[in-house]
Each structure stands twice: as structure tokens, then as C-alpha cells.
Structure 1
Amino acid sequence: MQEVFDEIRSALHTVWNRRWLALGVAWAVCVVGWLMVALIPNSYESRARIYVELDDVLSKQLDISGEGQQAITKVRQTLTSSVNLEKVVRSTRLGEKVDTQREMQNAIEDLTRKVEIKSTQDNLFELTATIGNSNLTDAENSALSQDVVQKLIDIFREENVAGNRGQVADTIVFLDQQLDDRKKELEAAEQRRLSFEAQHPDLIGGTGTVTNRLQSMRDEMRGVDADIAAAQSALAAINGQIASTPRTIVMPGESGGARGALAQAQAQLSAMRARGLTDSHPDIQAQKRQVAALREQAADEPSGAGGSPNPAYTSLVSIRAERQANVQALQARKAALQSDMSGLMATQADEPAVAAEANRISRDYEVLKEKYDELLNNREEMRLRGQVETERSAFQFEVIDPPTAPTRPAAPNRPLLLVGVLLAGLGIGAGAAFVMGQLKSSFTTADKLERVMDLPVIGTVSRVVTAQARQFEKSRMKKFYAASGALAGVCLLLLVVEMIQVGSVA
């Protein structure tokens, strides 16, 4: 640790022995540095804040409320484009000496670095322009920065309020032209379709429609088959009821005769069989013998000896006739469906080229019609949107803080630079003196001599200064202090001048 202190003391001694060199270098560096700082033009910053209102009940009702947010995003991304910045250059003093396209491009690139647009909130924007041209005075730079921000606000308003309406009008005109073209194409497709359908009525709508028709017929065929099965089952049931119902009945007080008794016996026999009794059952066998006996008696009985007609039997016969007609109608419908299906399948199989043409015509027509309907809806929506934006714009624009007229430069920080140049000059001067001391083979302390030579140092001899030399040294020290104080005084004077100049801009 002691060696470190010795080295520091040695370095300070080296610099102090060459203090005039350090002071001269410091003066040279400070003068050059202060001149460079003086040549840096002042830059003035103008700010403005704008607020954009997006909430609009009518726009939300019409489902166009998202357009305002999209417009803000678009402007935020494109406001600093080359086209907009060129408008700013041409409308301000920035374009006074711009004659060629190359100069305009350089002016746009320079302005791009000086303009900043940032969003502090969702709908609050801050515009900033920092201008510092060396060929303009401070007052002119201050006014120019304010003009640049004002022009940016004008472009913002134009792009979002007036620009949107112009875009809507242009879009409606474009959609009208597209609708006219699509209308002509659709009419031509309709004529081709009508002509083809007149020649091939079975292929109306293309093979896709034919396939749908076949599928529909198959579904209907399955329904008809189910109806036929149900109708046949109902017919069989009514036949069973008719078989168990006598044609005549014997009224009280009337003699039914053998035929009446035979009918009743046969009805009883049928009822027994309906209950599930077999022919080997004793009751069935006894009833059969009774029926056979009554049948012999009925054969010998004269005609007209029976009872009255049975109304239930007559009603069942009429129901059977109705159900037989229903079964026949369903079978006829099934036969017709089978014939139509066979015809459609034969058409598909026999004329594949015609079927392909039908598909193409139908597909082209549907595509054109869908596109026409879509364009028509878009035009109506755009027209309604244009009316909403004209009568009541959802984009409400308001300047909260107008562009400020700066009275103090935003850059550079001259006081800091002036002091920094002074400190840099002193540091560079001290460094130069130290380097020069290191280039000469002298030793400032006995310990350093002992370490370098690796020999013991017996002692040191102090410097003997005469009175005349001491007087001369004091005179030189006064001059050194005066020169050092003058350096600090010049720096202080420059700081005072800078403050006065800054205060005079307003």
C-alpha cells in the first residue's frame, strides 16, 4: 500500500515540476474545446399534445367502431413517412434553400431524426420537434420548431378527418365500377345457364344438383317402403277382422235358421283359433262337428231364411277397400320413383361431357353471384359509413396543448460542456506533463531509485536555493497562479455570457 502512495506522490511531483507544460496544454485544449462548443448551434424543442376521441354510440351500433383505432394506428405509423415530411419541409423555412431532389432527400432524412411522435396513452399523443440549424438565429430556430409541430398537427387532422371521407368516396366509386363489371359477367352466365337448361332439363343445376336429387329420391324411396309395409300390415289386420265378423246377425224375435246358426258357429270357431287354440283341441274339434252339422242343415234350408245384414261387417269391408287403394297408390309412387332414379342415373352415365359442362356452368354462375352479392353488401356498408362520418364523425380530434414556443435551448447543455472542456484541459495537461516526466530518466524519491537500481541508497542531498533563485521562483509561481486563474476566469466568463444569451432569446 505504501508503494501505491509513493507512486501517486511521484506522479504528482512529476506533474508539478512540469506545471507550465501542463498549464500550456490545458490552455490550448480549453481554447480549442470552447471554440468547438461555441460553434455548436442551439437546438430548440417544441411540444404539443393532441387527444383523439374514439367512443361513438352510432358507430358501435353500425359495427364500424374499430375504424377510429385503425386510423390512429395508421397515422402513428405513417405520419413520419417521406411524403408527409416532404410536406413539412416545403411549407416551412426548412425548404427555402432546397432546390434539387437530393437536397430534399437530405432535408427529409435530417427532419426524420428531429421529429418524434409517441403515444402517452391509448388516445393521447405527444408531438416533438427539435430544430437547431446553424444558418438561423436562435429566435428563428425557436419559431421554426413551433412551425414544424403545427404542420404535423395539420397533417394529422387532414389524414384522419378529411382523408377518411375522401377515401370512403373513392372506395364507393371503385365498388360501383366493380359492380357494373360483375353485373355484366353475371348476366352472361345467366344466359348460358338458361340456354343449357333448355336443352338439358334433367341436368339443371349441374351433376351436383342431380346427385342431391338422387339422394332425395332414395330417402323418399325408403319412406315409401316403410309406408307400404305399414299399409300392408294394416290390410292384413282388417282382413283378419273381416274373417271373424259374420255377414248377418239374428235380431231378437227373429228366427235365424240354419244359415244364421252356421254363421255364428263359424264365428265362434274363428274366435277360438284367434285365441291360439289348435285343431287338436277338444273345443275346436267339437265346434268343427257342430259347423259340419249346421252346414248340412243350411244346404237343405230354403234361401232367404237367414238373418239381417251385419253393419260391422259392411264397415270393415269399406275400410279394407280403402286400405287396398292406399297400398296400390304407394306401390305406384314407388314405381315412379324407381323410374325417375333410373333416368337420372342413365343421364349421368350416358353423357359425362354434358354433365361436366353442367357442373362448370353452374359453378361459374354461383361464384359470380356470390361475388356480386358480396360487393353489393360492401358498397352499402361503405355508403352508410360515409354518411356516418360526414354527419357525425366517430373521430373527434382535439389539441390539448398547442405547440409551444421554446425560450430556452433544449441542446446543447453549454454550461456542462464548458466545465467539461475545462476539466478535460486540466486532465490532458496533467497527463502530458506526466508523460514527459516518464520520458526522462530521473527519480523523484530515494526509494524509487533503490528499487530501480537494486542498490542501497546511503543518503540524499537536499536542494540548495539561493535568495535570488527563491525570489525568481516566487515570481514564476505568481505568474502560474495568474495564468491558472485566468483559465478559470475565462470559463466563468463564458458561463455568464451563455446565461445572458439564453435569457435574451425570449
Structure 2
Amino acid sequence: MNDLIIFLRREIVGAWRYRWWAMGVAWGICVIGWLFVYSLQDVYEANAKFFVETRSRLDRVIGEVTTPDQVGDQVNLVKQAMLGRPVLEKVARETDLDLRASTPMGKNELISSLQQKIVITGSPGMERAPRPTDGIYTIAFRDKDRAMSLAVVEALLNEFMVDVVRGRQDSSKETIEFLREEITKYSEQLKARERALADFKQQNVGLLPSDSGGYFNRLQDELTNLSGLEVQLENALSRKATLEAQLRGENPFVDEPATATSSSAAAARVAGSGPRTEFDTRIAELEAQLSELLLRFTDRHPDVISVQEQIDQLRDRRAARIEEIQQNGGATSSALANNPVHQQLQIALNEINVEVAGLRSQLSRDRARIADLRNKVDIIPAIEAQLTELTRDYDQVKSTYDELRTLLEQEVIASRKQEAAVVNFRLIDPPYVGNEPVSPIRSLFLFAVLVFALGAGGGIAWLLHMLNPVFHDVSNLRDITGLPVLGAVSMTWLDRHHAHRKVELSSFAVAGGMLVVTFVLALLAQEPGGLFIRQLVG
């Protein structure tokens, strides 16, 4: 830190040798700079504020059925239209601003300058809102002529008011007509695709995909079903073989118990010496019934004839049953009865036979369907692909058609809403321009010139010092040469030299003070001094 202080002290002392150069440069820059600041044209700003309410009571009735508020959109569109060339040319003609340009190129530059200088803004937050909302708008314009800036703002405000209140409906009508034309066109396309899809389905009945899926899904489902039926058939055949083995091990008849009822005794009398059958009891009952009928009727009575026929049929069936028993080597004892286990096994076997027959029938049908699907492996996928393409085209056209109809309904409601809507336009601040210019800020510029001049003067003095360096003390000489310094001889100043140095320092202080005084006078005389310099230059 001490080395830095020593270094700065040496540089300042070295530059101090050229202090008059620094003072001259500072004076020159200040004079030229202050004259330039005085020559700058005054710029006046005119502005106006107004409020636009684009939300009406109709919004609370319609809600979100329509598209975003077109009146609010119109405000934003007018903001952009106001900076368009036709409007700015009209404003330039109304305010005689176009007289400043005499050539076509000059007029183009004038319009471009207006586009940059005119500012139309909304209240804070409007630009970030999801859609245009009510708010305060500001029109501002700057110009060197105070009256001209006010005239331009008044003309812009009038154009803005006319565009908003006029409420242009041409765009809405054109939109409705366009949507109706598009709906008619897409309606014809939709009908054509509906006919094509219906004709295709009629021509390919039985080949179209079902709800379960397309060709490969159907084939996979059939194969899975076939595999399941084969397993069921295998299980059914296994149960059938088991039942047949059990049935072969069971005797159809069993010995009757020793204690017999009256019906059993009657059945024994019918059987006689032959084997007992399941028909003996029924025959005995019918014979008893026949005996009772013969006591009341003759042989030709219908009831007698009917009972006799039943007895004859049962006797024939009994004879056939006895013959079957004898052929099977069955027991010939008169005390035999039906085996209930054998009967249950026989019933179960009959049921399993029916199940096996049904499974074999289903397997046959499934194999036929699978074979038919495999034979159509080149036909059905192509038909399904064509159906998918037709359906996709139909869905796309129908989606566009439905969307257009929705847009048309919204646009019609929005158009009627615009016709019923009333724009509330209220002027908050009329066009106004201040007496004082908003630019340039001469006091700030004058001070900036002074600071720059002092810095430039100091820089020139330091640069001259660097071009003509000197040694200020023994340590500086020793550091630069690297040689030992044996001693130093002090300079003896005479009285006249001291007097001359005082006069010089006083003159430098006066010159610096005059520069500061001149700066203060320049600040105080900004308006008259600026007007004089501009008249002199102009």
C-alpha cells in the first residue's frame, strides 16, 4: 500500500509540470462542449390518457360461449394500426408535418421517424394478460416544436377514438362467410366418405374386423379357444373311460331282501319261476287294475282295452329283458332287483357321452373357422387396412366439419354480441404539453462536459509526463538505474524565483476558479444562452 502511494505521488508530481497544458485542454473542451450543449434543440412531449371499457353486461349473459372479446381485441389492433403508414401519412398532412420533407425519400424518413417517436401504451399488466382487458391507454409524442407535438397527439387521439367507436364489423362478416363456405365444402366431402364407407362394408360382410379386434386377433382367439376345447375334450374322455371301467365292474342286479312287501309278492307271482325284472311290479299293478275293471265293464270297454295293451307291452319288454339277462349270464334267481349304483353310473356315462359329442362338434366348427381364416390370410388384412384408411379419412373430415360448425356458432354469437356491445370511452387527460422541454437535460450535460474536460486535461498532462520523464528523488533514481547513489545536492531558490512561483500558482488557481465560475454561469444562463446560440447557428 505504501509503494502504491509513493508511485501515485511521483506520477502526480510529474504530471504537475504540465499543469498549464491540462488547464488549456480543459478550457478548450469546456467551451466547445458547452456551446454544443447550448446548440441542442429543445424537445417537448405531448401526451393524452383515456380509458376504454370493453366489457359489457352482455358478457355476463354469454359467458365463455363465445371467443375472447373482439372489442378488446380491437383496441390492440388499433394500437398497431396507429403506427401504420396510412395513418401516419394522414396525421402528417393534417398537422402540416409533411412540409418538413420536400422529397419522397425525405417523406419516407419522416414517416419512419414518426413510427419511432410515437408511443401508444396500455396500463401496467395489460400486455401480460391472457387477453385484452379494460385499462388506461397513453398516446405520447416528442418533437422540437411544442405546438407540433400537441397537434400530432390530438390527431392521433381523434383517429384512435374513431377506430374504436366505429366498431368495424367487416372482418366478422367475412369470417362468417368463409366458415359457411368451408362447412358446405366439408359437408359434401363428409357425405362422400360416408357413402364410400357404407359401400365398402356392404361389399365385405363377414370379412370386417369385429369388436374383439382385427384378423390376427381373431385368429389368435380361435387358436386359444381351440386349445381350450381340446383340453376339455381330453378331460371328458378321461372321465368317460373311468366311468366305463367302473360300470363294467358293477352287476346290473342285486339279491332282493328276504322281507318283501305285497307289491314284491305280486311281482314274484308275475315272474313265476323266471328271473325278476324291473317290469314285474308294474305288470302286477296293471293286472290288479284290469281285474277291477272287468268287474264293472266288458272286454270291449276302452279302459279295459287300454290297460290290456299296456300289460302286453310290458310283458314284451319283460321278455326282452329276461333274454338279455340270460345272454349276459346273469342270475336267474327269482329274488333279484335293480342295482342303484349301476344305474347312477349309467346316467353319468350318458351325460359324459353327450358332453364329448358337444365338444367334438365345437372342435370341428373351430377347426373349420381357423382353416377359413388361414385361407384368407392375404385377403382379410388388406380389407382391414382399407377399412382403417376409410375410417381415418372419415373421422378426420368429420372432426374438421364439427370444429368448423362450432367456430361458426361462436362467431355468429360473437358478431351479435359486438353489435349489442357499447364501448365506454372516457378521456382522462386531454392532450397536453408542458412549458419546459423534456430533453435535453442541459444541466446534466454541462456537468458531464466539465468532468470530461478535467479528466482529459489531467490525461494530457500525464501523457506528456510519460513522454518526458524525470527523477523526482534519490530513491527513484536508484530504483531505475540500479546503481548506488552517493548523495544529492539541493537546489537553492532565490527570492525572485519564489515570487515568480507564487504568481504562477496564483494564476493557475485563478484560471481554475474562472472555469468553475464559467460553469456556474452556464448553468444559470441555460435558456437565454441556448436560445442565442441556436439562433446564431440557425
Q: TM-score, normalised by structure 1?
A: 0.57
Can you list the C-alpha shifts for 1:92-114, whole angstroms capped at 9, x where unaligned? Answer: 44433345553343233323332
**SS across alignment from 2:433:** coil
Matches of 1:482 and 1:159 in 2, distance apart? 66
Q: Structure 1 vs Structure 2: percent identity of aligned residues? A: 24
Do the aligned partners of 1:45 and 1:131 also contact (CA within 8 Å) in 2?
Answer: yes
- The answer to whether residue 466 in structure 2 is matched with residue 438 in structure 1 is yes
Do the aligned partners of 1:450 and 1:457 also contact (CA within 8 Å) in 2?
Answer: no
Evaluate the alpha carbon distance shift between residue 284 and residue 409 of structure 1 in structure 2; reply closer, same or farther with a 3 A threshold.
farther
Q: Map of 1:331-350 to 2, 5 A cutoff?
A: none
- Which of 63, 66, 87 aligns to 1:64? It is 66
Matches of 1:125 and 1:20 in 2, distance apart? 59
Q: CA deviation at 1:493?
A: 1.6
Partner residue, 2:168: 164
Can you list the C-alpha shifts for 1:54-109, whole angstroms capped at 9, x where unaligned? Answer: 43332343333622444445455665455554454444444333455533432333
- The answer to whether residue 485 in structure 2 is matched with residue 456 in structure 1 is yes
Q: TM-score, normalised by structure 2?
A: 0.54
**SS across alignment from 1:46:** strand
Evaluate the alpha carbon distance shift between residue 189 and residue 64 of structure 1 in structure 2; reply closer, same or farther with a 3 A threshold.
closer
Q: CA deviation at 1:428?
A: 0.7
Partner residue, 2:455: 427
Do the aligned partners of 2:51 and 2:137 also contact (CA within 8 Å) in 1?
Answer: no
Do the aligned partners of 1:15 and 1:22 also contact (CA within 8 Å) in 2?
Answer: no
Q: Map of 1:332-481 to 2, 5 A cutoff?
A: 382=411, 384-393=413-422, 395-454=423-482, 455-467=484-496, 469-481=497-509
Do the aligned partners of 1:33 and 1:421 also contact (CA within 8 Å) in 2?
Answer: yes
Larger Rg: 2
Matches of 2:46 and 2:198 in 1, distance apart? 70
Matches of 1:74 and 1:450 in 2, distance apart? 79
Can you list the C-alpha shifts for 1:1-46, whole angstroms capped at 9, x where unaligned? Answer: 3332222222222333222111111111112222222233233333
Evaluate the alpha carbon distance shift between residue 472 and residue 379 of structure 1 in structure 2; reply closer, same or farther with a 3 A threshold.
same
Partner residue, 1:35: 35
Can you list the C-alpha shifts for 1:124-145, whole angstroms capped at 9, x where unaligned? Answer: 344353524xxx4xxx2x3333
- The answer to whether residue 147 in structure 2 is matched with residue 131 in structure 1 is no
Partner residue, 2:9: 9
Evaluate the alpha carbon distance shift between residue 21 and residue 388 of structure 1 in structure 2; reply closer, same or farther with a 3 A threshold.
same
Q: CA deviation at 1:303?
A: 8.1
Q: Map of 1:488-499 to 2, 5 A cutoff?
A: 488-498=516-526
Evaluate the alpha carbon distance shift between residue 501 and residue 433 of structure 1 in structure 2; reply closer, same or farther with a 3 A threshold.
closer
Q: CA deviation at 1:442?
A: 1.8
- Which of 514, 522, 525 aligns to 1:486? It is 514
Partner residue, 1:121: 125
Q: CA deviation at 1:299?
A: 7.9
Do the aligned partners of 1:59 and 1:65 also contact (CA within 8 Å) in 2?
Answer: no
Do the aligned partners of 1:446 and 1:457 also contact (CA within 8 Å) in 2?
Answer: no
Do the aligned partners of 1:19 and 1:433 also contact (CA within 8 Å) in 2?
Answer: yes
Partner residue, 1:222: none
| Aligned residue pairs, count | 366
Q: Map of 1:200-349 to 2, 5 A cutoff?
A: 206-207=198-199, 210=202, 280=278, 284=282, 288-289=286-287, 300-301=299-300
Matches of 1:128 and 1:401 in 2, distance apart? 10
Matches of 2:298 and 2:104 in 1, distance apart? 132
Evaluate the alpha carbon distance shift between residue 430 and residue 212 of structure 1 in structure 2; reply closer, same or farther with a 3 A threshold.
same
Matches of 1:156 and 1:444 in 2, distance apart? 74
Do the aligned partners of 2:66 and 2:410 also contact (CA within 8 Å) in 1?
Answer: no
Matches of 2:73 and 2:204 in 1, distance apart? 45
* AA in 2 matched with 1:280: E
* AA in 1 matched with 2:142: I
* AA in 2 matched with 1:162: R
Partner residue, 1:245: none
- The answer to whether residue 44 in structure 2 is matched with residue 52 in structure 1 is no
Matches of 2:494 and 2:457 in 1, distance apart? 28
Matches of 2:288 and 2:88 in 1, distance apart? 123
- Which of 101, 108, 118 aligns to 2:111? It is 108
* AA in 1 matched with 2:199: T
* AA in 2 matched with 1:427: G
Do the aligned partners of 1:47 and 1:126 also contact (CA within 8 Å) in 2?
Answer: no
Do the aligned partners of 1:46 and 1:149 also contact (CA within 8 Å) in 2?
Answer: yes
Do the aligned partners of 1:50 and 1:126 also contact (CA within 8 Å) in 2?
Answer: yes
Q: CA deviation at 1:289?
A: 4.5
* AA in 1 matched with 2:475: D
* AA in 2 matched with 1:466: D
Unaligned runs of 5+ in 2: 127-133, 212-276, 305-385, 532-538
Do the aligned partners of 2:53 and 2:425 also contact (CA within 8 Å) in 1?
Answer: yes
Matches of 1:392 and 1:30 in 2, distance apart? 63
Evaluate the alpha carbon distance shift between residue 377 and residue 421 of structure 1 in structure 2; reply closer, same or farther with a 3 A threshold.
closer
Can you list the C-alpha shifts for 1:163-217, whole angstroms capped at 9, x where unaligned? Answer: 43343345456667x49x959x96x999x99xxxxxxxxx9994167489999xx
**SS across alignment from 2:431:** coil
- The answer to whether residue 148 in structure 2 is matched with residue 144 in structure 1 is yes
Partner residue, 1:229: none
Evaluate the alpha carbon distance shift between residue 15 and residue 205 of structure 1 in structure 2; reply closer, same or farther with a 3 A threshold.
closer
Can you list the C-alpha shifts for 1:355-395, whole angstroms capped at 9, x where unaligned? Answer: x9xxx9xx99x979x96x987886676555444323333x4
Can you list the C-alpha shifts for 1:273-306, whole angstroms capped at 9, x where unaligned? Answer: xxxxxx938875555546767898878456899x
Partner residue, 1:26: 26
